[in-house]
Amino acid sequence: MVGMRRSLVAVVALVVVAPLALAACSGDEDKPSPAAWVGASPSSGSSAVPESGVAESGQTGGVSAVSLSVTPATGKKDVPVSAEIGFKVSGGKVTTVALKDASGKDVAGALREDGSAWVPSKTLKTSKRYDATVTAVDAAGVTKTASTSFTTMGKPARKTGTGLYLFDDKTYGVAMPVVVEFSPGIKKKDRAAVQKRMFVKSSPEQPGTWSWTSSGTQAYYRAPNYWKTGTELTVRIAVGGLPTGGGRYGDEDRAATAKIGRSFVMKVDNKTKKMTVVQEGKTIRTLPVSLGKKSTPSSSGTMVIMEKKASTIFDTTAELGPTEGYRTKIDYAQRITWSGQYVHSAPWSVGAQGKRNVSHGCVNVSPSNARWLFDKTLIGDPITVRGTEDKLDVGNGWTAFDMSWKEFVKGSALPVPADLAAQEGV
């Protein structure tokens, strides 16, 4: 790599953290902008019940065997707008939760899959009163209710910026992780509480887990293997108003529903200087390439296409100076690392492609092959490079699938079910 610099992506109406942007093959600082959508219902995860308190209760249909307590406690003030309706129940099962705002309007929400709490489908409003009623039933069909009223806190003075790299109704490659960013990063002691509010549902079902980068600025979600073609991902990062540590609160909920397209895998071998392109398990083309020379080697590892630009400018003069730096127009550029490595058209290196490495770290291909690839790829398509002098760093791009599944699950802030952790993965 040559040089180092940081940049923040400005997204209209959003507060978003940008990963480290380094200059390698390119001095281009642009990066794909995170999507921000609101409204998905939670579909997975677990929740510790917050501060406990037994509310007023009653029963219908006889003497109930149910013991039921609800949180937040009655009269509780300054409750975060991320509040869930928690409950402890014995001798029965919670069947319904009703939450109303101060005007008596119903608030939508859903029970967690483990039945530990009820999560509103949107963040609550600040400085407002809410009334909740929880109903449980015992084996004899006798119901018992418990109610509570609480008031939410005002607008927080300090917020954690968030970003979601997933857009509604878009189609992604089979190695597309769900990527969430936080600014500032979430400290280890606070990650479990945040992870409990990050919901992912896949259809057909492919259970997965989250894994955090060491800085806590990013978290990735993936299944043990690449997503199946046709998978639908429904994501809600429900951290709006959630305490994130250090007196900060999440800026807002972010959500998206996206699809996974056909399998399209690129494999680059430094020994042969060739890229093998495999679609739906069948090799469809082999392309000669030129990788990074010894002074600026390409990274070996599994990366994904993060961004596509039909035309752009690579400018390294700011880092390297007017003598060693360069400013070059590039066609069909596809970003694969934050440090500036791309797959792109390189007409000047066609004679070296398939024979020797001459690039600044990028994967050089001919103009015709670059155009062909550009027309075929999706954001999230995997590209694996092998045999170079440099190893891909965790977090230098969307590197979720560069780690083994066994290694990946170690990054979860919550316990991963043993059967899921034991699965074989890519």
What is each CA distance from 204 to 225, 228, 375, in whole angstroms? 13, 8, 28
Buried b / exposed e along 208-234 (16+ C-beta atoms within 10 A): bbbbbbeebbbbbbbbbbbbeeebebb
What token pair was written down for 125?
Answer: 């409003």
* Tokens 């919670």, located at residue: 94
Query: Which amino acid appears at position 67 of this protein?
Result: S
361: tokens are 């770290």
Phi and psi at 158, nearest 5°, equal -125, 135
Phi-psi region of 280 (alpha: psi -120 to 50; beta: other; left: phi over 0): left
Helices assigned H by DSSP within 297-386: 317-324, 367-376
Radius of gyration from C-alpha coordinates of the chain? 25
| Largest Cα span, the chain | 88
Residues 208 and 221: beta-carbon distance below 8 Å: yes
Query: Measured between alpha carbons, how far is 218 from 9 in angstroms, rounded to an integer?
Result: 15
Point out the catalytic residue in the list 344, 365, 374, 381: 344
Measured between alpha carbons, how far is 236 from 257 in angstroms, rounded to an integer? 9
| Residue 25 annotated among the catalytic residues of the structure | no
How would you label 287-306 residue by residue, b for 16+ Cβ within 10 Å and e otherwise?
Answer: bbbbbbbeebbbbbbbbbbb
Q: Per the residue annotation, which of 194, 362, 363, 373 is the catalytic one?
A: 362
Cβ atoms within 10 Å of 65's Cβ, excluding its own: 14
Per residue, the 3-state secondary structure of 94-151, as one string, reads EEEEEEEECCCCEECEEECCCCCEEEECCCCCCCCEEEEEEEEECCCCCEEEEEEEEE
Structure tokens at 253: 């909920």
With b for 16 or more beta-carbon neighbours within 10 A and e for fewer, the 240-253 pattern comes to: bbbbbbeebbbbbb
Residue 192 identity (one-letter amino acid): A
Residue 229's nearest CA partner among 176, 275, 179, 277 is 176
Burial of 380 (0-12, 13-18, 19+ CB in 10 A): buried
Amino acid at 35: A
Would residue 362 show up in a list of annotated catalytic residues for this protein? yes
What single-letter DSSP state applies at residue 31? -
Which residues are catalytically annotated?
344, 362
